[in-house]
Amino acid sequence: MDFEAVIGLEVHAQLLTKSKIFCSCPTAFGHGDNENVCPVCTGLPGALPVLNKQVVDFAILTGLALNCKIQKHNIFARKNYFYPDLPKGYQISQYEEPICLGGKLTFLVDGNEMTVGVTRIHMEEDAGKNTHHGEFSLVNLNRSSVPLLEIVSEPDMRTPKQAGEYLRALRSVLLYLGVCDGNMDEGSLRCDANVSVRTRGAEKFGTKVELKNINSFRFVEKAIEYEIGRQIDLIEQGQKIVQETRLYDPDKNRTVGMRSKEEAHDYRYFPDPDLLPLRLSDEWIDGVRKQLPELPYEKMNRFATQFGLPRYDAQILTQSRDLAQYFETAVKRSNNPKGTSNWIMSELLRVLNDQKKEVADSPVNADQLGDLVRLIDQGQMSGKIAKGIFEDLAAGKFSNKTVEQIVKENGLVQVTDTKAIEAVIDKIIAANAGQVEQYRSGKDKLFGFFVGQVMKEMKGQGSPTVVNDLLKKKLKGE
Ligand SMILES: [Zn+2]
């Protein structure tokens, strides 16, 4: 039988607010256990929550970026369950009337455009954290009531790859908006996947399994792929899929049953009587709309059109706002979009990756990179010298100096003096009589060999344009 998978993702994004969602405790990471707590976020009786406006602004901004309809009337609900890291015995979330409904996200999968529906976005608080130490366990409530957005997609994806690209695109949007740091390793972006399979062409969905807390970017596609295979095997053996929550074990690359899936009614959701319904005015929403930046997908399309770049390049360059900004600054200096893109993708990203640095901390700044590309184009510098300067900059040499200063101070000035270059060419021609003969009898490819020899002799400092011109003439015997 021919099967297809149906995949939807629920993403939890921790918001970059300074304080928690219902109290003024800091959200900062790395403080001592239970240092960032107060009566509200430890759930003491009688303590009352007060909503953090920044959380609402971030939720609206995210909703607008994902083309959602912002609900002017929305309510907070209590989601009741017991767990030691949840002292109140309920989590404040949104249920029936969330802040955003009905959006979409467009992105590329293998170069083809894909649009996935966004069902809803709601605001909620995080729980604390349990750590287990042999015979006892400890509860740290620093994370209790840190604000989260839950972004729920439609079950529009059919392959693990599509799910992976959706998550990458969503992360990129959140980073552009500055609402979340997108760090999956530290848990500030978490992903659950709903996966089911059905025979291709069937309308009815199969029984879905929820994969919980896939906490690494690399594992999203692997976990879903494993789960699809597991479900297909069961169906082919004539067994039923059980609706349940499963955990992905990255060490063994498999999913393990955790608990049978609870239904919404198990949580006894009801409106939180301590929080008024949230009413949003048009002015409020419009005010947030003004903060919307150009988003990754729009920027990618603009880069492709405005700079005539392949979409592949444009997609990589717009992965982050900082990298896109770096490119635009460098192009202003180089006036060569494709050349600049090549240098960024092959050289700069390699260096940043090796040094585990962000673009903002790049050892080679955008002006320097743009200047190197321009000087090569203008024939004032060989590619070899430019690479050398780039590597020196990457290693921390010459920091804050312009390329012009570096060239001057290090005697890297191009030799454009035709007499000096002619002398070298004559020497090379005399020393390679055999190759000269082959070249003159039609072996054009040897031209590169002569350029190489001349450049070697001149330690890379000959002007490539002048060397090329003179070599052509001399080899013709002119
Ligand atoms: Zn607090």
The domains of the chain are located at 3-289, 296-409, 418-475
Q: Could you tell me which CATH number the domain at 418-475 has?
A: 1.10.10.410
Going from the Cα of 284 to the center of ligand 1, the distance in angstroms, rounded, reads 26
The phi and psi torsions of 336 (rounded to 5 degrees) equal -140, 90
Ligand 1 centroid vs 72 CA: distance in angstroms?
27
Angle subtended by helix axes 464-475 and 433-440, to nearest 10: 80
- From CA 11, how far away is CA 376, in angstroms rounded? 46
Task: Answer for the pair 232, 225: CB distance below 8 angstroms, yes or no.
Answer: no
Q: Contact at 8 Å (CB) between 19 and 26? A: yes
CA of 91 to the centre of ligand 1 (A): 14
Q: How far is the CA of 23 from the centre of ligand 1 (A)?
A: 5
Q: Which of 178, 201, 198, 202 is nearest to 188 (CA)?
A: 178
Closest to 176 in 3D by CA, of 360, 12, 318: 318
25 CA to centre of ligand 1 in angstroms: 4
Return the sign of the alpha-carbon dihedral for residues 75, 78, 173, 102. Answer: negative
Contact between 36 and 214 (Cβ < 8 Å): no
- The torsion region of residue 187 among left (phi > 0), alpha (psi -120 to 50) and beta comes to left
Q: How far is the CA of 30 from the centre of ligand 1 (A)?
A: 16
H or E, element range at 331: helix 321-334
The residue whose two tokens read 């790395």 is 30
- C-alpha of residue 19 to centroid of ligand 1, in Å: 8
What are phi and psi for residue 439, nearest 5 degrees? -60, -45
Q: What is the DSSP string of 143-212?
A: TTT-EEEEEEE-S-B-SHHHHHHHHHHHHHHHHHHTS----TTTTSEEEEEEEEEEETT-SS----EEEE
Q: What is the CA(34)–ligand 1 centre distance, in A?
A: 10
Q: Read off the pTM.
A: 0.84
Q: How far is the CA of 42 from the centre of ligand 1 (A)?
A: 7
Q: Measured in angstroms, how far is the CA atom of residue 39 from the centroid of ligand 1?
A: 6
Which residue ranges in the chain fall short of pLDDT 50?
none
**pLDDT of res. 442:** 87
Token code pair at residue 220? 């999203």
CA of 89 to the centre of ligand 1 (A): 16
Q: Backbone phi, then psi, for 264, in 5-degree steps?
A: -55, -35
Helix (H) or strand (E) segment spanning residue 257: strand 254-260
The enclosing H or E element of 235 equals helix 217-236
Residues in the chain: 478
Strand partners, 109: 112
- The mean pLDDT value of the chain amounts to 92
Q: What is the pLDDT of residue 413?
A: 65
Burial zone of 444 (CB within 10 Å; 0-12 exposed, 13-18 middle, 19+ buried): exposed
Two tokens, residue 283: 């002015």
Q: Please tell me the predicted confidence (pLDDT) of residue 261.
A: 66
pLDDT digits (tens, 9 = 90+) for 362-406: 999 999 999 999 998 887 787 888 999 999 999 988 878 888 888
Determine the distance separating the centroid of ligand 1 and the alpha carbon of 16, expressed in angstroms: 16
Q: Three-state DSSP class for 40?
A: coil
Give the Å distances, CA to CA, from 214 to 84, 130, 247: 22, 18, 8
- Centre of ligand 1 from the C-alpha of residue 310, in Å: 49
The Å distance, Cα 138 to ligand 1 centre, comes to 19
Q: How far is the CA of 436 from the centre of ligand 1 (A)?
A: 82
The answer to whether 341 and 357 have CB atoms below 8 angstroms apart is no
Running DSSP on this structure, what letter comes out for residue 477? T
- Cβ burial of 112 (10 Å; 0-12, 13-18, 19+) is exposed
Please tell me the chain's helix, strand, coil percentages from 3-state DSSP, rounded to the nearest 5. Answer: 40, 20, 35
DSSP, collapsed to helix, strand or coil, labels residue 19 as strand
* C-alpha of residue 273 to centroid of ligand 1, in Å: 19
Q: What pLDDT is attached to residue 456?
A: 83
d(CA 206, CA 6): 8
Ligand 1 centroid vs 128 CA: distance in angstroms? 12
Q: 74 CA distance to ligand 1 centroid (A)?
A: 23
Distance between Cα 97 and ligand 1 center (Å): 25
Residue 188 Cα, ligand 1 centroid: separation in angstroms?
19
Residue 152 has a pLDDT of 98
Q: How far is the CA of 143 from the centre of ligand 1 (A)?
A: 10
Q: What is the 3-state secondary structure (H, E, C) of 94-115?
A: CCCCCCEEEEEEEEEECCEEEE
* Among 95, 89, 61, CA closest to 75: 95
Q: Cα(24) to centroid of ligand 1, in Å?
A: 6
pLDDT at 192: 95
Copy the structure tokens of residue 308: 């005539």
Output the CA 176–ligand 1 centroid distance in Å.
28
Neighbours of 37 (CB within 10 A): 23
C-alpha span between 27 and 144 (Å, rounded): 9
Q: How far is the CA of 126 from the centre of ligand 1 (A)?
A: 12
Radius of gyration of the chain (CA): 30
CA of 29 from ligand 1 middle (Å) equals 14
CA of 21 to the centre of ligand 1 (A): 9
- Å from CA of 477 to ligand 1 middle: 85
